[in-house]
Structure 1
Amino acid sequence: MNVVSYKSKTLATWIAFLAGSLGLHRFYLHGWKDRFGWFYWVPTFLGLHGLQRVQDHGLDDQVSWLLIPLLGLMVAQAMLAAILYGLTPDERWDARHNPGQPVHPTRWAPVLGVIAALLVGAGVLMATIAFSGQRYFEYQVEEAKKISQ
């Protein structure tokens, strides 16, 4: 007999917001055997390693230029997942994650999670794009200076 436990839209939204870059929302929804959930750890920890490299080697470390945007993109995708979960209609959510169970209406908690995810996700995505663009153009200027000398 296959017993399916109830999957809360509110809880999934907040797990994606708080720990989505580690894939914990996927483990909540799909179980520990979810391959995509395990994949989230690699770029997240590489991005954290990039932050550690900046602290150890300074902002001129080119490896950190490649690694830090991975963390930003993982956080941004987690915020997108939180937004998608929170905005999914209750009927569709329960049909997909709670088949055969009555619809459980949600109130404001997922909406508050969506608002928080929009704020954090937009900020992180803009910061990631700005950091990557700045480092790219600084590298281009340094290379042009080397060539002209």
Structure 2
Amino acid sequence: MKSKTLAAWLAFLGGPLGLHRFYLRGIGDVVGWLLPIPTALGLYGIERVQQYGQDDTLSWLLVPLLGMTVAACCLTAIVYGLTTREKWNARFNPGGPEDAEAGGTRWATIFAIVLSLMIGAGVLMASIAFSFQRYFEYQVEEGRRISQ
């Protein structure tokens, strides 16, 4: 029986590594294996910012990948947590009864939803702000270069 609470926490804490996908769909899940790629690229972008500063063009293209991956996994945790017991059990526990406890909502599920909402929204807004700021600064520099 696949627990909704555990899946929500795995999506929140280990989502960028695909842990929730492996828990729910097994080790052969392709999306679960692909999730660490944008996570690693985003972490590489953060490393480039630390190494070369914020003027590095590649870093401002890579950093939002990490933010978007974290935000998407937080959204997935919210969706998992808000899924009704019947839908959860029908989808992830098809052999069990419709009202099985594994699909139930507990306080731990609510905490996962709340934390996912807070962290996911913050990371999403920070990623958007960072990427737009760097994009517009780049456009201003290109405009100055053209006008000279």
Q: TM-score range by the shorter chain?
A: over 0.9
C-alpha displacement of 1:22? 1.2
Deviation at 1:108, TM superposition (A): 1.5
Structure 2, unaligned runs of 5 or more: none
1:55 lines up with 2:54 in the alignment? no
Hey, what does 2:111 align to over in structure 1? Answer: 112
- For 1:62, the aligned partner's letter is T
Which residue of the partner structure matches residue 137 of structure 2? 138
Task: Give the alignment of 1:75-90 within 5 angstroms.
Answer: 75-90=70-85
State the distance in 2 between where 1:66 and 1:107 align.
Answer: 39
Length, aligned pairs only: 144
Task: Please report the RMSD computed on the Cα atoms of aligned residues, expressed in angstroms.
Answer: 0.8
String of CA shifts for 1:107-143, please: whole Å, max 9, x gaps: 2211111110000011011111101110010001101
Aligned-partner residue type, residue 27 of structure 1: F
* Shift, 1:100, TM fit: 2.6
Instruction: Give the corresponding residue for 1:28.
Output: 23
Gaps of 5+ in 1: 1-5
Note the C-alpha offset of 1:9: 0.3
Structure 2 counterpart of 1:3: none
Structure 2: how far apart are the matches of 1:100 and 1:144?
62
Per-residue deviation, 1:16? 0.4
The normalised TM-score by structure 1 is: 0.94
Calculate the TM-score normalised by the size of structure 2. Answer: 0.94
Tell me, in whole angstroms, the C-alpha distance in 1 between the residues paired with 2:47 and 2:57. Answer: 13
* Runs of 4+ off more than 3 Å: none
Distance 1:111 1:26 in 2: 20
Q: CA deviation at 1:106?
A: 2.8
